Structure 1
Amino acid sequence: MKLSIVATLYNSESYIAEFLLRASNAAKQLVGNDFEIILVNDGSPDKSLELSREFTKNNENLVIVDLSRNFGHHKAMMTGLAYAKGDKVFLIDSDLEEEPEWLLLFSKQMSLKNCDVVCGIQEHRKGDLFERWSGIIFYSTFRWLSGLDLPKNLVVARLMSRRYVNALLTHMESELFMAGLWVITGFDQQPYKVVKHNCSETTYSFYKKISQFINSVTAFSKRPLLGIFIIGCFIFMISALWAGYLIVNWLFWERPPNGYTSLMASIWLLGGMVTAFLGIIGIYLSKVYSETKQRPYTIIRNIYKSADFREG
């Protein structure tokens, strides 16, 4: 098979029909009828599964991978990639904020550059002021902490070669951060500037964004642990100097320290820092605990194809 198109479903019922039409037309222009469209239902609470199953009746190129519950966007994407069989794999969101027709542009770029990946990059991040600034802070902080050259304003849409997808699937983490995995997998990856539309409300709440940030940093960076060590050493040095001053002061001048304000402030400051540091260490330990259990990152409940209806 020449091409696989992979997308996830979550609150996507209003977009499925147009997405399938546009994705199919783009794929036919590129490879004829030698393609598949894989939609991964990530426990969508609306009628995305029912509607997409109806489309499989008359679309032999369509495959629905139904997960047993909501596992998260990144894990659903990896499940779709694992099921894809195409020589090239086009990953994209199904909400039409990313255009299915980018497939043709990405394919042309891949041929010109002779690369393994063409990935979409927003020249200007979409959304309101909070979404734009939170994105800037996230990418800047992640690059500084992880040391990875993560492109700014990266979107989901990307066209990948078979060997790149196979290499990507060798990562066995149960807690996934796809943008980081895309980068560390390597190969020749070329950006393509795109304009992402604002067609739907984001499903990433403020809490989800914070959780993703913590997960991404702890998955790809040891610097928070190094920072704890450095700050601990700094506090120890300051404390030692202060203790030395108090001893000298007591031996030669006999002037006891005045008041308890500085003492209580120091106790609360150090207590808060110790609690925060223990929390950071706890996050790393919880990730180790999660990985050692070796649980699958998704569970597939069923797979639907047009052949199922013909056999029935």
Structure 2
Amino acid sequence: MGEFLKVSIVSTMYRSAQYLEAFVSRSTAAVRSLTDDYEIVLVNDGSPDDSLQVALSLQERNSKICIIDLSRNFGHHAAIVAGLEKSMGDLVLLMDCDLEEQPEWLSRFHDELQRCNLDVVYGVQERRVSTAGANLLGRIFWKSINFMSSVRIPHNPMTCRLMTRDYVNALLTVEDRVLYLAGVFSWAGFQQKGIPLVKSPRPRGHASTYSVGKRLLQVTESFSSFSIAPLFMVFITGVLTWIASIIYAAYIIGVKLIWPERVVGGFASLMLSIWFFSGLVILSIGIVGLYLAKVFQEVKRRPLFIVKKTYEGERHVTR
């Protein structure tokens, strides 16, 4: 492994009990092909199933497993940060434990990292294992966020990535309370490279824990975190509407002066104008409200997560 002495594998747990044994077994085999000095950091993000109990039973057989039990569900991205903070490796492999992403990719990531002298190697979905509608919406989202943001965010990035300690330490200096990690990963800079990969499809009956509501929340957070374009668009829309109103007022005055007998406007056009501009005002207020809500969350400076217990080997430490 050259200069790198220790590898940390970090993953989060939420309804993950059915995957954990296979994940730990495959991750252990993958990392041992590189080094015997490793750790597996599992973060229990308030999982409602018996993920914590399964992880503890696995820890009894493998003392290199460290388990962080959060006090409740803080969300995937906050749980990732908790795992990264606890990790001690010179290299850190971040990966979901549902086995859509394969632990065996570690060797390929490591070879690419060493060969190109990189700080990060991450997976990019070569093709999405989802419905046609979801794929279309995904493409629209990534094109929109990159069009509006000054930070270039790769299209279809996976969670899985191999990172150097310097890069991880840089990530941990970010103090956002409304956290969108896909953007932060890119914003941090360093030498990064994506590798096209294909996720393994989920077994039948094993649905994603990301609901439609969670996905919509992530979309709004991504735009409010990495782009002020919506606010700028509200300003431009206001200016254009103001200019259009002046032009229209001049038109009405001209018509009245030249053809006073003409009837200008009507009930339908009046109601259409009221509905259009009322909707425009409400939309604009809503966009401003999104950013104000983000400011409200940030200024409170609440911790991103709270650790209930940390289980290290055969002992646990209460924090």
Q: Same fold (TM over 0.5)?
A: yes
Please report how far the alpha carbon of residue 239 of structure 1 lies from its aligned counterpart in structure 2 after TM superposition. Answer: 0.6
The alignment status of 1:53 with 2:56, answered yes or no, reads yes
Q: Which residue of 2 aligns with 1:8?
A: 12
The alignment status of 1:100 with 2:107, answered yes or no, reads no
Q: What secondary structure is seen at the aligned counterpart in 2 of 1:171?
A: coil
Q: Which residue of 1 aligns with 2:304?
A: 297
In the alignment, residue 26 of structure 2 is paired with which amino acid? R
Q: Which residue of 2 aligns with 1:244?
A: 250
In the alignment, residue 53 of structure 2 is paired with which amino acid? E
Q: Which residue of 1 aligns with 2:212?
A: 206
Q: Which residue of 2 aligns with 1:21?
A: 25
Please report how far the alpha carbon of residue 131 of structure 1 lies from its aligned counterpart in structure 2 after TM superposition. Answer: 2.6
Q: Which residue of 2 aligns with 1:164?
A: 167
Please report how far the alpha carbon of residue 122 of structure 1 lies from its aligned counterpart in structure 2 after TM superposition. Answer: 1.5
User: Which among 282, 292, 298 is matched to residue 285 of structure 1?
Assistant: 292
Q: What secondary structure is seen at the aligned counterpart in 2 of 1:285?
A: helix
Paired residues, number? 308
Q: What secondary structure is seen at the aligned counterpart in 2 of 1:157?
A: strand
Please report how far the alpha carbon of residue 207 of structure 1 lies from its aligned counterpart in structure 2 after TM superposition. Answer: 1.6
Instruction: Give the TM-score normalised by structure 1.
Output: 0.96
Q: Which residue of 2 aligns with 1:67?
A: 70
For structure 1, the 5+ residue unaligned runs are none
> Deviation per CA, 1:120-156, whole angstroms, max 9, x where unpaired?
1111111222332222122111111113322112100
Alpha-carbon distance in structure 1 between the residues aligned to 2:9 and 2:265: 71
Please report how far the alpha carbon of residue 41 of structure 1 lies from its aligned counterpart in structure 2 after TM superposition. Answer: 0.5
Q: Which residue of 1 aligns with 2:275?
A: 268
User: Which among 220, 232, 235 is matched to residue 238 of structure 2?
Assistant: 232
Structure 1 190/258 Cα, relative in aligned 2: closer, same or farther at 3 Å? closer
In the alignment, residue 19 of structure 2 is paired with which amino acid? Y
Please report how far the alpha carbon of residue 15 of structure 1 lies from its aligned counterpart in structure 2 after TM superposition. Answer: 0.5
Moved more, 202-211 or 104-113: 202-211
Please report how far the alpha carbon of residue 115 of structure 1 lies from its aligned counterpart in structure 2 after TM superposition. Answer: 0.5
Q: Show structure 1 runs of 4+ deviating over 2 A.
A: 248-253
Alpha-carbon distance in structure 1 between the residues aligned to 2:137 and 2:108: 29
Please report how far the alpha carbon of residue 191 of structure 1 lies from its aligned counterpart in structure 2 after TM superposition. Answer: 1.3
Please report how far the alpha carbon of residue 172 of structure 1 lies from its aligned counterpart in structure 2 after TM superposition. Answer: 0.3
Q: Which residue of 1 aligns with 2:266?
A: 259
Please report how far the alpha carbon of residue 97 of structure 1 lies from its aligned counterpart in structure 2 after TM superposition. Answer: 0.4
User: Which among 180, 183, 191 is matched to residue 183 of structure 2?
Assistant: 180
Alpha-carbon distance in structure 2 between the residues aligned to 1:280 and 1:127: 30
Instruction: Give the TM-score normalised by structure 2.
Output: 0.94
Q: Which residue of 2 aligns with 1:83?
A: 86
Please report how far the alpha carbon of residue 253 of structure 1 lies from its aligned counterpart in structure 2 after TM superposition. Answer: 2.5
Alpha-carbon distance in structure 1 between the residues aligned to 2:265 and 2:103: 71
The alignment status of 1:142 with 2:145, answered yes or no, reads yes
Q: Which residue of 2 aligns with 1:155?
A: 158
> Deviation per CA, 1:42-71, whole angstroms, max 9, x where unpaired?
111111011111111221100010011111
Alpha-carbon distance in structure 1 between the residues aligned to 2:214 and 2:227: 20
* Kept in 2: contact 1:58–1:306 (CA 8 A): no
Alpha-carbon distance in structure 2 between the residues aligned to 1:261 and 1:128: 42
In the alignment, residue 13 of structure 1 is paired with which amino acid? A
Please report how far the alpha carbon of residue 307 of structure 1 lies from its aligned counterpart in structure 2 after TM superposition. Answer: 2.8
Alpha-carbon distance in structure 2 between the residues aligned to 1:258 and 1:140: 40
Alpha-carbon distance in structure 2 between the residues aligned to 1:84 and 1:304: 13
In the alignment, residue 7 of structure 2 is paired with which amino acid? L
Moved more, 144-153 or 92-101: 144-153
Alpha-carbon distance in structure 2 between the residues aligned to 1:138 and 1:37: 33
In the alignment, residue 299 of structure 1 is paired with which amino acid? I
Q: Identity, % of aligned pairs?
A: 42
Q: What secondary structure is seen at the aligned counterpart in 1 of 2:244?
A: helix
The alignment yields a C-alpha RMSD, in angstroms, of 1.2
